[in-house]
Each structure stands twice: as structure tokens, then as C-alpha cells.
Amino acid sequence: MTIGLAVFATAAAAQMQPPPLKVMHLTGGVYWTSGGAGANTGFIVGTNGVIVVDAKMTADSAKEMLADIAKVTPKPVTTVILTHSDGDHVNGLAGFPKGLTIIATANCKKEMEESENGPNPAMAAPKDYLPNRTVTKSETVTIDGVRLRLLHFAPAHTSGDLLVYLPAQKIVFTGDILTLQFPYPLIHLAKHGSSAGWIINMRGLLALKAVTYVPGHGELPTRADLQKRLKEAVTRRAEIKKLVAQGKTLDQVKTALGESLAPPPKGGYHPPTYTEVVYQELTKK
């Protein structure tokens, strides 16, 4: 995906009427939300405060989420953990109170900083809400009595992906490692994502003893769903690699795989396909 497409997608989504925001209870003090403007999010009620995972796309949607959190608990939000830098996960930070601990990978922070100089500065990450605690590798932390594993296996959807795993509750928030509205992984090459890294992340994800997987987009999948998704992505990548080794063009690869050569319909969001991304990765000089 190019930065231009990423910006277009975020801007287009912002103009659409979002579905109603819904809060769903998972177990104990752990919840997830869908709907509103932006991606799925999560929140965990700790001893004295609340930890939020991802921040929606707009300040208004974030404020709606905060109001719903207040219906669950009077405890204040004290920490936000970001799974990656895309606007539909971070731009809602502008609706949060100041003084939060904001946790992300170092690469996520870098991408948020760079967004201010991107092709559409109006869609940049809120510069007053940059991460103030960074993760460079996987680590286990305890925040407000809640034990979490923050897992960065490799660049995948972006260079700065972070899985958030609650081992006691066996719940993992995946960010856009899982984007279930697309049949194959969504990789942002412009943010140094990697199809090979996505496979590493999925294998790491499945190695956890999780029983609940909260994706960046879509409903909760089963473990069998994830195993199937990984198998299909690995198989498709191997097929593309074989065809590239034979000197096939992208159109020839798509034809061999039974994919349409027609341009996407006008309107809506049409990111580069998994085949296009893998082909570009394998043929770049």
C-alpha cells in the first residue's frame, strides 16, 4: 500500500457514516469494541485505572468510546497501547485526556512522527499524543495490576506491529495482523511491512495459549480460522514465488492464480492485493 492510498482510505472512511459503537464483554475486566469511526479496540479495567488498546480514528469516536468505558467503570483511562501507526487506530487519541502513558513500538512512534510530513498533513497522527513509552522487542509488563505480554515478532502489516496478549485471560489483541475484511493479509509496504514477517507473526500468535483473538477489523475468529488463514497465505506466497522464479509478469501471475485483471471498481477502498504486494517484494531490485 502506498502512503497516498493509506491517507485516502483514512480520509474516505472518515467521511462515511460509521456503524454504531458496540462494547462487548470478554471476561473479568476485559472488553472489546467494534463500530464507531476506526478499528476495533479493547480495554482492560485495572486496579486503579483502565488500559485501552488502540484509540479509534476520530476524536468524536474516541470520546464516545470513553463515555462507554465510564458506563462500565468510574476508573480513569491511564494507559493506551497502540498496535501500529495507522490513522484508524491512532488518530482518535486527540479525544483522550492529556497525561496518559502511551505505549507503542519505536517504529510505530517513528511512523506517527513522519505522518506530519506526509501527503496529507491533515490526517497526521496527533502530535500531542505521540508514544511516550516505546517497546523495541517483546516484553512482559504489569500495568495497574494487569499482566500483559507486548509482542513484536517482525514487521508484518507495518514495521511497528505489536500484539497485546493477556496470558491470565488467554486473550490477544492483534491489531491489523488480522484484517478479516480481506481474504489475505493486508501489508503496507510503504510502512516497511512484510508478507514473510506476517507469517512469522501468525506463527507466533498461534504459539500463544490464547483462546480469544480480537482482530483489528472484523468479528472474533476461531483458532481454526487463523490456522486456515495462515495456511492459505503461506500457500499463495509460495505459488507467487514459484511463478516469479519462472519470470512471469504480475498479470501472468494473477492469471495463473485465477485472479481478476480488471481494475477495481470506482469508489471505496481498494488496497494492493496480497498477490501484488508479494510480487513487488520478490521482484524489487
DSSP assignments along 37-91, one per residue: SSS-EEEEE-SSSEEEE---SSHHHHHHHHHHHHHH-SSPEEEEE-S---HHHHG
User: Which pLDDT belongs to residue 127?
Assistant: 92
Which spans in the chain are helix H?
3-15, 59-72, 87-90, 106-114, 195-207, 223-245, 250-256, 274-283
* 3-231 homologous superfamily: Ribonuclease Z/Hydroxyacylglutathione hydrolase-like (3.60.15.10)
Query: Grid coordinates representing 222?
Result: 476461531
Domain range annotation of the chain: 3-231
Distance CA 215, CA 254 (A): 28
Distance CA 100, CA 273 (A): 37
Q: Are 147 and 95 contacting, i.e. CB atoms less than 8 angstroms apart? A: no
User: Which pLDDT belongs to residue 233?
Assistant: 98
User: Which pLDDT belongs to residue 118?
Assistant: 72
Task: From residue 6, give the alpha-carbon distance in Å to each of 11, 20, 88, 258, 272.
Answer: 9, 23, 10, 27, 11
With a threshold of 0.85, does the pTM exceed it? yes
> Pairing relation of β-strands 133-135 and 101-105?
parallel
User: Which pLDDT belongs to residue 264?
Assistant: 79
Q: Are 150 and 81 contacting, i.e. CB atoms less than 8 angstroms apart? A: yes
pLDDT lower than 70: segments of the chain? 1-16, 119, 268-269
User: Which pLDDT belongs to residue 108?
Assistant: 97
Which residues have C-beta within 8 Å of that of residue 16, sequence separation ≥ 6? Answer: none
Q: Are 126 and 91 contacting, i.e. CB atoms less than 8 angstroms apart? A: yes
Strand-pairing partners, residue 141, are: 148
